[in-house]
């Protein structure tokens, strides 16, 4: 699904359109009264967003320092009764949200209740904002004093919500109506924290939440594949999640440890393919990714790919010899030439010829 009518985008630049600051003020006036400080560099900014039914996910970027005010009179006059969940991706927010003093730096998530007053200041900034009607809040959040609440960017819950909002910004235009509702619900559950409970019959929201958390954990694993102490315990501690949830999310992958080993083997496969001109020993690659010996590495490698590490390297070397770079010159530092389509196809054909028969290893090769 891709409904362009649900999307909007606007770019502002006072160097070409002097009225740009006033247009920005007009657009945000239903929410806040904005003051924009003048700058020798002028005013540049962007707004974009996608409507999610009765909610809105949006991104704003601005080069100027701004003040944002919403007085008690503005609240009384306004018919807007929403909350704004705002991720600061660069810059920061400082000021008074009702009786709370707020200082939200990059990575933090703050909550702005449009039913209350605000007086804040932002330097040049970039934010992602989910605007939600009050009646969409789950019961567990309605009695909380959310206005001016700031989630610490160091907390696992904050990182999970930040990742979800960022992904929602990128993917919102492709969502179905059911997926939109589920994505908003997942955001509110994450905002509520670990004490919020998913309803058993709320399957779409459960799935969105599980998928989002698993993607964040997978990204953490990818960044730490070289780490010796990459374990379920370390991952759970780093991500601020329970080990029982972690095990459950990776059950379909054979478990957390099995997933880590599979990704390490995939990375070793790539390095064997690309390091033919650098004389890196197979055992060195194995040690780099946490394998205790070459024999342990070779057995695990053959179980996953149906060929040995040496066979992969030999096939890659033959392909490089048969299909040299058009210029005849290797890449920088002796690296092999770029893998164009012809080279890749030839390498795959060569590897297929070296694969053992079905009775040897086909049952161990993952689908």
Compare 329 and 177 and report the one with higher pLDDT. 177
Q: Which DSSP state fits 364?
A: G
Rounded to whole angstroms, how far apart are CA atoms 351 and 354? 5
Domain-embedded: residue 359: yes
Residue 339 confidence (pLDDT): 39
Domain-embedded: residue 210: no
Would you say residue 328 has pLDDT above 60?
Answer: no
Closest C-alpha among 87, 79, 91 to residue 112? 87
Phi-psi group of 35: left, alpha or beta (phi > 0 → left; psi -120 to 50 → alpha; rest → beta): beta
User: pLDDT digit string (tens) for 9-65?
Assistant: 999 999 999 999 999 999 888 889 999 988 888 899 999 999 998 899 999 999 999
Q: What is the mean pLDDT of the chain?
A: 80
Q: Which DSSP state fits 19?
A: T
Rounded to whole angstroms, how far apart are CA atoms 304 and 51? 44
Domain-embedded: residue 243: no
Residue 4 confidence (pLDDT): 56
Q: Which DSSP state fits 336?
A: P
Residues 15 and 146 in one domain: yes
The residues pairing with 66 across neighbouring beta strands, listed in sequence order, are: 36, 122
The CATH number of the domain holding residue 115 is: 2.60.120.10
Would you say residue 204 has pLDDT above 50?
Answer: yes
Would you say residue 260 has pLDDT above 90?
Answer: yes
Question: DSSP secondary structure string, 78-96?
Answer: ----EEEEEEEEESEEEEE
Where does a domain end: 151, 166, 199?
Answer: 151
Residue span of the structural domain in which 116 resides? 4-151
Rounded to whole angstroms, how far apart are CA atoms 129 and 114? 13
User: pLDDT digit string (tens) for 113-141?
Assistant: 998 999 999 988 999 999 999 888 887 77
Mapping DSSP to helix (H, G, I), strand (E, B) and coil, where does residue 297 land?
Answer: helix
Residue 235 confidence (pLDDT): 92
Counting the structural domains of the chain, the total is 2
User: pLDDT digit string (tens) for 216-255?
Assistant: 899 999 999 988 889 999 998 888 888 888 998 898 889 9
Place of tokens 């320092």: 65
Would you say residue 151 has pLDDT above 50?
Answer: yes
Residue 277 confidence (pLDDT): 58
Domain-embedded: residue 13: yes
The CATH number of the domain holding residue 338 is: 1.10.10
Residues 141 and 273 in one domain: no
305: how many CB neighbours lie within 10 A of its CB? 21
CB 65 within 8 A of CB 123: yes
Would you say residue 197 has pLDDT above 60?
Answer: no
Domain-embedded: residue 222: no
Rounded to whole angstroms, how far apart are CA atoms 87 and 191? 12
Compare 314 and 128 and report the one with higher pLDDT. 128
Residues 137 and 269 in one domain: no
Where does a domain end: 91, 121, 151?
Answer: 151
Domain-embedded: residue 124: yes
Residue 85 confidence (pLDDT): 94
Domain-embedded: residue 219: no
CB 4 within 8 A of CB 40: no
Domain-embedded: residue 175: no
Compare 357 and 296 and report the one with higher pLDDT. 296
Rounded to whole angstroms, how far apart are CA atoms 360 and 194? 48
Where does a domain end: 151, 174, 193?
Answer: 151
Residue 350 confidence (pLDDT): 40
């Amino acid at each position: 699904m891709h409904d362009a009518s649900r999307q909007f985008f606007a770019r502002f630049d006072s160097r070409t359109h002097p009225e740009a600051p006033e247009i920005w003020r007009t657009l945000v006036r239903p929410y806040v009264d904005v003051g924009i400080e003048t700058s020798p560099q002028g005013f540049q900014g962007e707004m974009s967003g996608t409507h999610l039914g009765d909610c809105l996910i949006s991104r704003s970027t601005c080069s100027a320092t701004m003040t944002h005010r919403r007085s008690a009179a503005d609240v009384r006059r306004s018919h807007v009764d929403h909350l704004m969940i705002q991720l600061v991706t660069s810059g920061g927010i400082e000021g008074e949200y009702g009786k709370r003093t707020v200082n939200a730096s990059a990575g933090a998530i703050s909550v702005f209740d449009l039913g209350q007053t605000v007086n804040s200041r932002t330097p040049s900034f970039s934010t992602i904002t989910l605007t939600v009607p009050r009646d969409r809040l789950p019961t567990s959040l309605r009695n909380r004093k959310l206005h001016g609440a700031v989630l610490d960017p160091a907390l696992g819950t904050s990182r999970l919500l930040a990742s979800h909002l960022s992904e929602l910004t990128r993917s919102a235009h492709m969502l179905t109506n059911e997926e939109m509702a589920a994505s908003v619900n997942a955001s509110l559950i994450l905002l509520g924290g670990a004490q919020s409970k998913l309803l058993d019959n709320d399957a779409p929201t459960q799935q969105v939440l599980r998928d989002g958390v698993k993607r964040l954990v997978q990204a953490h694993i990818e960044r730490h594949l070289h780490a010796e102490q990459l374990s379920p315990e370390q991952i759970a501690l780093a991500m601020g999640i329970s080990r029982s949830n972690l095990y459950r999310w990776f059950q379909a992958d054979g478990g957390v440890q099995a997933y880590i080993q599979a990704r390490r083997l995939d990375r070793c496969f790539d390095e064997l393919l690309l390091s033919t001109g650098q004389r890196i020993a197979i055992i060195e690659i194995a040690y780099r990714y946490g394998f205790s010996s070459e024999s342990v590495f070779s057995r695990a490698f053959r179980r996953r790919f149906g060929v040995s590490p040496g066979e992969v390297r030999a096939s890659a070397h033959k392909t490089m010899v048969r299909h040299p770079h058009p210029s005849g010159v290797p890449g920088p530092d002796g690296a092999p030439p770029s893998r164009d389509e012809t080279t890749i196809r030839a390498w795959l054909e060569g590897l297929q010829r070296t694969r053992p028969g079905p009775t040897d290893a086909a049952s161990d090769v993952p689908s």
